[in-house]
Every structure is written in structure tokens, then in C-alpha cells.
Structure 1
Amino acid sequence: MDRLKDKVAIVFGAGPNIGGTIAHFLAREGAKVCVSDVKEEAATATAEFIIGRGWKAMGMVGDARNDDDVKRIVAKTVEQYGRLDVVVNMAGRVHWDDVLGMQLDDWNDSVASFATAGLLTTQHAARAMLACGSQGSIIHLLSTAAHFGEADGAAYCAAKAALLNFARSAAMDLSHHGIRVNTVTPCSMEHQLWTTMRDEMFDPDWRQPERRGFYSRQEYLDQLPLRRFPRAADLAWATVFLASDESSCMTGADLPVDAGLRHKYPTWTPGSHDPRHINDYARATRVTRYGEEQELLTDLLGDPIERS
């Protein structure tokens, strides 16, 4: 439980799923953590959760796309804890539309959410690390969208791909300072079963949306060699590793946490050889907050619809 003892970390994006779980695991491994979010309630709730378990944390409101906000959050963290060793950036907003219909404001917001936020968090973190003599670790959360083209996902794919190659370039720029920059790539997450994609399983009148790039949870599950979606804890453990001295010779690297999705042969469909229905998967799924299991999903949302 001391893999990050005496280290100080900032997590940009701190809801109870991915960001909050990462912050929780960093704190559990000994780091003092600042959790930041554009929503005050999210930052406060995550900080209070960590403090309630006996670890050190503080919450701050801020937008990772805003230079002044990022600078203020980094400065306050160093003022509070005396140094900075780890920064995790997973902030960002997603806009879906095809190329012909993409609005310029949505495009610009996507680029700002990921590529610009990546620049600002890296820039201010690295400056603070240099000032306090820390050979720190900067970690950006990506998506399989950074590696593939997706229908209706031009803005998201482009912005995530920009963040991927930004991180690689930043790793080269900062290497002679001993500051490492790496990325973690998840695919569609398990918590989306009870958030953005719940209607597919729990609404008997659900119909697939018209959007061309849309896929069902069943179709996605059938592409995963490990036959499960990544959980927030899976990303948190990967982040802990990249934040710790265990990865001290790694920079410019991307860790795929995607149940094998990115490395399977494209035409191989794992679900054809190991079928599992999404409703059965959902019945066995537990809701998690900050990486801790809550009630069974079916206890919260009712019994999933039966197979047709």
C-alpha cells in the first residue's frame, strides 16, 4: 500500500467512476492527492471520500482547458503539499456527428477538451516538477478512438489521436529532465452499462439509435477477447503503475487496458467462439463508485429484460 509513499498527485477529472477511482487508488498507495473537476460537487465528493478513508486529499474546481485554472490548481497543490510528482489528465467532453454535419464549435471544444487540456496539464505540471526537483510522471487517459476511425466520431477520434501524439512528443521533450509522459487506453467501460447505455438492456421498447457509428453493448462485448469490459479499477491500477517508480524506465508508452480489443485479428469475433449475452453480463455486474463495489446492478435498476 506504499507504492506512492511521499508523492503528491493531481487528477484532472474527478467523478466517481474513472477519475475518482484513480484518485482513490493513488491515495490508497500513499500519495497526497488534489482532485479537480469543472463541477464543484464532483471534486468535493471525491476529496471527501478519500479523506473519509484516512488519506490526504483536497478538491478544487477548475477547467483543464483553461490556462489560468490549470496554473492555479498546480500552484495550490504545491503550496499545500510542498511538491508535485504525478499528474493524471482525464478531462474532456465528447461530441458526436458525422463529418458533413460537424459543427465548428463542437470540433473546437473537442480539440480543447483533449489536445489543449493535454498541453496545459503537461506544461504546468512539468514546470512545477522542475521547480521542486521532482522527476515526475504525467499520465493522459485516452480511448481506442485515438487508434481507430469511428463513424460519427471525427472530432473525438481526431482530438484523442492528437493527445496520443502530443504525449509522445512531450515525453521526448521532457526526457532529459527525467520527467516521464505516458498514456493509458481503455475501450468502452463497464460503468457505461448503467449510465450512457443502460436503455439497451433495461428498456423493453429500446431501439437502436439512427446514428451510423452506434453499436450495441452486445456487439461490443462480442469483440472483447477477455469477454468483459474494463472497469475503473483496471485503469486505476495501470495509472498507479505508471505513477510509481516501477515504471521508471517507461516514457512515451501507451498501455492498452481494453480486454485485448486492439490486438485481436480484425475479422476474429471472440463472441462467436465464447458467446455471452449482454443481459447475463449485466446480471453479474456490480456498480462501483471510486473502485468499490456497491449493490448488484439489477438491485438498482430492476431485473434486465429477458432475451428475445
Structure 2
Amino acid sequence: MHRLASKVAIVFGAGPNIGGTIAHFLAREGASVVVSDIHMEAAEETVAFIRGKGFVAHPVQGNATVEADVRRIVAVALETYGRVDVAVNMAGRVHWSHLLDMDMDDWNEAVLSFPTAGLLTTRYTAQAMIDAGHGGSIIHLLSTAAHFGEAGGTAYTSSKAALLSFARSAAMDLAHHGIRVNTVTPCAMEHQLWTLMRGEVSDPDWQRPDNMAFYSRDDYLKMLPLQRFPRASDLAWATVFLASDEAEIITGIDIPVDAGLRHKYPTWTPGAHTGVNIRDFAEKTYVTRYGEPQEKLVPGSFPEGVRRDPSTQEK
């Protein structure tokens, strides 16, 4: 519970799924956490949860793709807690489209957003660390899209791949300052079963769309060697490790939090042999907020108030 004692962290993106869970786990390990989000109510909700657990957090509104906002968020962290040791960034916009139908405004927004947020959050948190004369840890959340091609996802894959390469180069630029830059890559997340993919797991009459680029959650689950989707808490634990002194010699790496998906042989389908299926999986799944189980996810019945986490665009 004290792996991050005396450290100050900024989390860019604060909803109750990924960003809020990471903020909660950082605070639980002893960090004072500045929680930022494009929506102030999301930041305040996350901070209220963290403070309710007896930990230290402060909310601030801002857009991580806007330079003035990032400078202000870092200034608030310095004013409130006196230093910055850790930054976690997951900000960006997603647009899905076949490349032949891609709208150029959507393309420009999507392709620029993730690496722009990466540049700004890294630049201004690193400068605060350098000015204070100490090192630190900067962590960017990616997606399997950074590593693979995906039909309908040219803008998203381009943006996430750019952020991956940016983080590697940033790690080299900042190494002599003792600042580490690393990334964490999830695949499709468990919470998306009750946010983005409700019909497939809850509607007994659900039918696969007639779309050659479509893959179901059942298809996805069958591809995972560990036979479950990553949870927000899995990403939070990887982030805590990279933020801690346990990882003080680690920089420029990517940690795949994907149940073994990236490293399996592409044509092997583990679930074809084990019999795992999405409905049985969903019946054993609990809705979580900030990394804590709330209630069991029962196909056909979703809890009131459960909504998509606007602060994360991870797949």
C-alpha cells in the first residue's frame, strides 16, 4: 500500500473505468493524484471516490490535446502538491471508417489527437520534473491497434502507432534526466461488455452483422490464451509498477496487458479447444467502477447508470 508514498501523479482522463481505476490505484499506493478530465464532473466524481476511501486527490478540468490546458493542469499539480513524479496519459479521439469513406476532418482529429496528447503531457510533466531536479515516470495507454492493422480502423491504428513510436523516442530524449517513458497496451476490455457490446451478450436474438470487418466479442474471447478480457484493474496494476521505483531501470518498453493475445500464433484459436463462450463468461462477470466490483453482470439486465466511460477510447 506504500509503493508510491510521497509521489505526486497526474492522470489525464478520469472516468470510472480505466482512468478512474488507475487514479484510484495510484492513490491507494500512497500517491497524491491530480485527476484531470475534459469534463469537470468526471474529474470530481473520481476524486470524490478516492477521497471517500481516505486517499489524496484533486480534480481539474482540461483537454490533454490543448497546450494551454496541459500547462495549466501541470501548474495546478505543482501549486497543490509541490511536485510531479508520475504522469499517465490516455487522451485522444477515435473515428472509425473504411479508408475509402474517410472524412478528412475525422482523419485529422483522430490521427493527431493521441500523439498530440502524448507530446503535450510528456513535455510539460517532464519539464516540471527537470525543473525540480528529479526524475519521474511517464506512462501512455495504447491499444492493440498500435501493433496490428484493423479493417475500418486506419485512423485509430495510425494514431496509436504514432503514440507508440513517440513514447519510444521520448524515452531516449529524457533518459539522461532520469525520466522514464513507457507504454501499456490493452486489448478489448471487459467493461466494454456492458458499455459497447450489450446486445451480443444480453439479447438472445442477437445476430452477427453482415459486415466482413466485424468480429464479435465471442470471436475475440476465443482468441485470448488466458480466456478473459483485461479489466481496468489489470491496467492499473501495470501502471502502478511502471510508476514505482521497482521499475526505475525500465524505459522505452511496452507492457501488453492482453491475456497473451499479441504473442500467440495468429491462426491458433484457444477457445475452439476449451469451449469458452461470451455468454458463460458474461454470467461470471461483475460490473466494476474504479476497479471495485459493483454488481454481477447478468445477460439481459444492465445496471441503471452504467454508461460508456468518455475519458477512454481504448478498444
- Bin the TM-score by the shorter chain: over 0.9
Q: CA deviation at 1:134?
A: 2.3
Quote the residue 1:183 is aligned against. Answer: 183
User: Partner letter of residue 152 of structure 1?
Assistant: G
Quote the residue 1:253 is aligned against. Answer: 253
Cα distance in 2 for partners of 1:109, 1:66 equals: 12
**Does the 8 Å CA contact 1:233/1:291 hold for their aligned counterparts?**
yes
Secondary structure in structure 2 of the residue aligned to 1:110: helix
Quote the residue 1:216 is aligned against. Answer: 216
Aligned ranges for residues 78-89 of structure 1 at < 5 Å?
A: 78-89=78-89
Q: CA deviation at 1:274?
A: 1.1
Quote the residue 1:131 is aligned against. Answer: 131
- Residues 111 and 42 (structure 1), Cα distance of their counterparts in 2 relative to 1, 3 Å cut: same
Secondary structure in structure 2 of the residue aligned to 1:261: coil
Q: CA deviation at 1:299?
A: 8.3
**Does the 8 Å CA contact 1:171/1:180 hold for their aligned counterparts?**
yes
- What is the Cα-based RMSD across aligned positions, in Å? 1.4
User: Partner letter of residue 165 of structure 1?
Assistant: S
Quote the residue 1:292 is aligned against. Answer: 292
Quote the residue 1:306 is aligned against. Answer: none
Quote the residue 1:106 is aligned against. Answer: 106
User: Partner letter of residue 133 of structure 2?
Assistant: G
User: Partner letter of residue 156 of structure 2?
Assistant: Y
Cα distance in 1 for partners of 2:280, 2:199 equals: 15
Q: CA deviation at 1:212?
A: 3.9
Cα distance in 1 for partners of 2:111, 2:83 equals: 30
With the length of structure 1 as denominator, give the TM-score of the two structures. Answer: 0.96
Q: CA deviation at 1:225?
A: 0.1
**Does the 8 Å CA contact 1:152/1:211 hold for their aligned counterparts?**
no
**Does the 8 Å CA contact 2:36/2:60 hold for their aligned counterparts?**
yes
Cα distance in 1 for partners of 2:302, 2:63 equals: 36
Q: CA deviation at 1:293?
A: 0.5
With the length of structure 2 as denominator, give the TM-score of the two structures. Answer: 0.94
Aligned ranges for residues 54-133 of structure 1 at < 5 Å?
A: 54-133=54-133
Cα distance in 1 for partners of 2:251, 2:164 equals: 12
**Does the 8 Å CA contact 2:97/2:154 hold for their aligned counterparts?**
yes
User: Partner letter of residue 288 of structure 1?
Assistant: T
Cα distance in 1 for partners of 2:285, 2:202 equals: 14
User: Partner letter of residue 66 of structure 2?
Assistant: N
- Residues 261 and 129 (structure 1), Cα distance of their counterparts in 2 relative to 1, 3 Å cut: same
Cα distance in 1 for partners of 2:66, 2:21 equals: 24
- Residues 302 and 241 (structure 1), Cα distance of their counterparts in 2 relative to 1, 3 Å cut: closer
**Residue segments in structure 1 that go unaligned for 5+ positions in a row:** 304-308
Quote the residue 1:144 is aligned against. Answer: 144
Q: Deviations over 1:281-308 (max 9, x none)?
A: 00000000000001101188269xxxxx
Cα distance in 2 for partners of 1:137, 1:300 equals: 42
- Residues 87 and 210 (structure 1), Cα distance of their counterparts in 2 relative to 1, 3 Å cut: farther
- Residues 302 and 244 (structure 1), Cα distance of their counterparts in 2 relative to 1, 3 Å cut: closer
Cα distance in 1 for partners of 2:260, 2:111 equals: 28
**Does the 8 Å CA contact 2:86/2:136 hold for their aligned counterparts?**
yes
Secondary structure in structure 1 of the residue aligned to 2:102: coil
Secondary structure in structure 1 of the residue aligned to 2:3: coil
Secondary structure in structure 2 of the residue aligned to 1:35: strand
Stretch moving more, 233-242 or 291-300:
291-300
Q: Deviations over 1:96-137 (max 9, x none)?
A: 001111111111111232111100000001001111122100
**Residue segments in structure 2 that go unaligned for 5+ positions in a row:** 304-315
- Residues 233 and 103 (structure 1), Cα distance of their counterparts in 2 relative to 1, 3 Å cut: same
- Residues 211 and 107 (structure 1), Cα distance of their counterparts in 2 relative to 1, 3 Å cut: farther
Q: Which one has more relative contact order, counting CA pairs under 8 Å at least 6 apart? A: 2
**Does the 8 Å CA contact 1:84/1:134 hold for their aligned counterparts?**
no
Quote the residue 2:168 is aligned against. Answer: 168
User: Partner letter of residue 283 of structure 2?
Assistant: R
**Does the 8 Å CA contact 2:201/2:300 hold for their aligned counterparts?**
no
2:154 matched to 1:154?
yes
Secondary structure in structure 1 of the residue aligned to 2:197: coil
Quote the residue 1:270 is aligned against. Answer: 270
User: Partner letter of residue 206 of structure 1?
Assistant: W
Secondary structure in structure 1 of the residue aligned to 2:162: helix
Cα distance in 2 for partners of 1:182, 1:262 equals: 18
User: Partner letter of residue 185 of structure 1?
Assistant: T
**Does the 8 Å CA contact 1:153/1:213 hold for their aligned counterparts?**
no
Aligned residues between the structures: 303
